[in-house]
Amino acid sequence: MGILPCCILSFIVLVSYGKHAVDHRMSEIQHQSTVLADHLVTYGYLYDISNDIVNTELEEVSGIYDGRIMIIDPELRVIKDTYNISQGKYMISDEVVRCFKNKVSSSNYDERDNYIEMITPIYDSEQEDMIGVMLTSVSTEAVEAMRKTLLVRIQYFMIAMVVIVLLISITVSRMLIRPFSNLSGAMAEVKEGFTVDRLSLPDYVEMDALLGAFEHMVNEIKLLEASRQEFVSNVSHELKTPLTSIKVLADSLNMQEEVSNETYREFMQDIALEVDRENKTINDLLTLIKLNRNASASLELENVNIEEMLEEILKRVHPLADQRGIELILEVIRPVVAPIDKAKLSSALTNIVENAVKYNIEKGWVRVTLDSEPSFFSIVISDSGMGIPEDQQPHIFERFYRGDKSHSSEIDGTGLGLAISREAVLLHDGAIKVESTEGEGTVFTVKIPRQQAGSAPEAIENIEQSDEASEAADKEISGTGERSGSAQSEG
């Protein structure tokens, strides 16, 4: 790209030099011709061409400028020719005739033949008349030769510059490519599964950003691999534990020759419990796999009365709550009918409510609050339980995370419930967050858009009509505001 500007610049320099050199040569010749014309008049050379001083001066000027000087009298006869070719002959030329007529000097540059022709009037001030014309022809071959020499030097200079630029470009490109080669090698190591140590690359702004992105990617891959290994380990453990218990119970029965019906029945009940536990773990795993937040097409949307759905959830959890004397409370601020996947969202909320019951204190309470905004509805599940330590809160939605081991070992569960709940909420383009104070209780807030991406315009119209019915129902229950779990069971 730099060669073209250099060529243009060289052309401009050469043209400028040629014009300037010719103009300078013409200015010198004009000055010398004027001086010679004055000397010719002073020494009366047109009347006597034998003057040695003038002849010598004419020869010197002709030799210096590599030119030819002719002195022409008013009769157009050449009385002096420094080349001794046309002396005594007549010079009938338009330029000469025009000079005698106009009494002004003129010049002409023949670029093809490389010479300058200048006509200077010889004017006698005493006679106040022109007594002749001096025709000076000067070669410009020296100027042309110098211009060619300059052209050659510029070409050499350009070639040298091109070579230098190429060498610099190759050196710089190698310096710039080397970090990318190192980075490419590190990526190949990551692809092969090798551990990549921290790379040391040149301190470029672009490389810093690229290196930061690469290291972030490597860290993410390591975290993903660690998570995968932990997931496999947890799955293996959760699936193996019930099988181990079943095998121990079965082996115990086989080792006893005579087993009473009561003992046999007790062992079989324990085996059935372990089978149920295994079945629940497998079902939770399958549910978690199916809940892919990107597969929004898997949602089976239908208009659902959220208040009725929450009542059904509390009824299902009510027997578990009764065992510990926990009060279930449903508070409806604004009734909601919205298009959701009832099975998925109901399962997600059930997991949260069950956890609120399991990790609660004796004679405690669990409150479920339903409210609605123009663009979304919210379900807040709060409890009077033991709370979640602050350092454990960022991990509670991870798969198989059970929190405090001292409590989780006493409480039945697979550690998949909240992970399933989170995926189900995200599948509805919703959000879930937790706020907890250890020893005081926990609050889960679930927000779901009232209009899902897959809901049709007809469904939206039905939602608006259902909302009007819900507002009418709200007026009937606004006096109570709260419903206990025991009241729901009676209903």
Could you report the per-residue pLDDT of 215-233, keeping only the tens digit for each? Answer: 777 777 777 777 677 767 7
Does the structure show a pLDDT above 80 at 345? yes
Contact 308, 335 (CB under 8 A): no
Same-domain check for residues 313 and 443: yes
Does the structure show a pLDDT above 50 at 74? yes
Q: Can you give the pLDDT at residue 207?
A: 65
Cα–Cα distance measured from residue 417 to residue 423, given in angstroms and rounded to the nearest whole number:
10
- Please report which confidence band the pLDDT of residue 460 belongs to, taking 50, 70 and 90 as the band edges: very low
Does the structure show a pLDDT above 60 at 213? yes
Q: Can you give the pLDDT at residue 47?
A: 86
Chain-centroid distance, C-alpha 424 = 33
Does the structure show a pLDDT above 50 at 483? no
Q: End of a domain among 240, 269, 290?
A: 290
Q: Answer whether residue 157 is part of any domain.
A: no
Q: Which amino acid is at 100?
A: F
Provide the domain limits for residue 42: 3-146
As a whole number, the mean pLDDT across the chain is 79
Same-domain check for residues 307 and 276: no
Q: Can you give the pLDDT at residue 239?
A: 72
Same-domain check for residues 479 and 332: yes
Helix, strand or coil, per DSSP, at residue 70: strand
Decide: pTM greater than 0.85.
no
Same-domain check for residues 462 and 380: yes
Backbone angles phi, psi at 484, to 5 degrees: -90, 160
Q: End of a domain among 290, 315, 341?
A: 290
Angle between helices 141-192 and 205-255 (to 10 degrees): 10
Q: Can you give the pLDDT at residue 238?
A: 66
Cα–Cα distance measured from residue 208 to residue 469, given in angstroms and rounded to the nearest whole number:
60
Contact 98, 111 (CB under 8 A): no
Q: 440 versus 245: which is more confidently predicted?
A: 440
Tokens of 96: 């000469």
Q: Can you give the pLDDT at residue 200?
A: 59
- Please report which confidence band the pLDDT of residue 115 belongs to, taking 50, 70 and 90 as the band edges: confident
Average pLDDT, integer, range 178-194:
71
Lowest mean pLDDT among 120-134, 273-287, 370-384: 273-287
Same-domain check for residues 481 and 399: yes
Q: Answer whether residue 164 is part of any domain.
A: no
Chain-centroid distance, C-alpha 306 = 44
Give residue-wise pLDDT tens across range 286-323. 776 666 544 544 778 899 999 999 999 999 999 989 99
- Please report which confidence band the pLDDT of residue 395 belongs to, taking 50, 70 and 90 as the band edges: confident
Cα–Cα distance measured from residue 163 to residue 149, given in angstroms and rounded to the nearest whole number:
21
Q: Answer whether residue 40 is part of any domain.
A: yes
DSSP for 351-401, written as a single string: HHHHHHHHTSPTT-EEEEEEEE-SSEEEEEEEE-S----TTTGGGTTSTT-
Does the structure show a pLDDT above 80 at 490? no
Q: Can you give the pLDDT at residue 234?
A: 66
- Please report which confidence band the pLDDT of residue 204 belongs to, taking 50, 70 and 90 as the band edges: low
Structural domain count of the chain: 3
Q: Answer whether residue 174 is part of any domain.
A: no
Q: Can you give the pLDDT at residue 489?
A: 33
Residue 4 CB: number of other CB atoms within 10 A? 8
Same-domain check for residues 131 and 50: yes
CATH number at residue 223: 1.10.287.130
Instruction: Write the DSSP symbol of residue 296.
Output: G
Q: 487 versus 289: which is more confidently predicted?
A: 289
Same-domain check for residues 210 and 346: no
Q: Answer whether residue 336 is part of any domain.
A: yes
Same-domain check for residues 342 and 371: yes
Same-domain check for residues 239 and 317: no
CATH number at residue 330: 3.30.565.10
Q: 141 versus 447: which is more confidently predicted?
A: 447
Q: Answer whether residue 152 is part of any domain.
A: no
Cα–Cα distance measured from residue 359 to residue 326, given in angstroms and rounded to the nearest whole number:
11
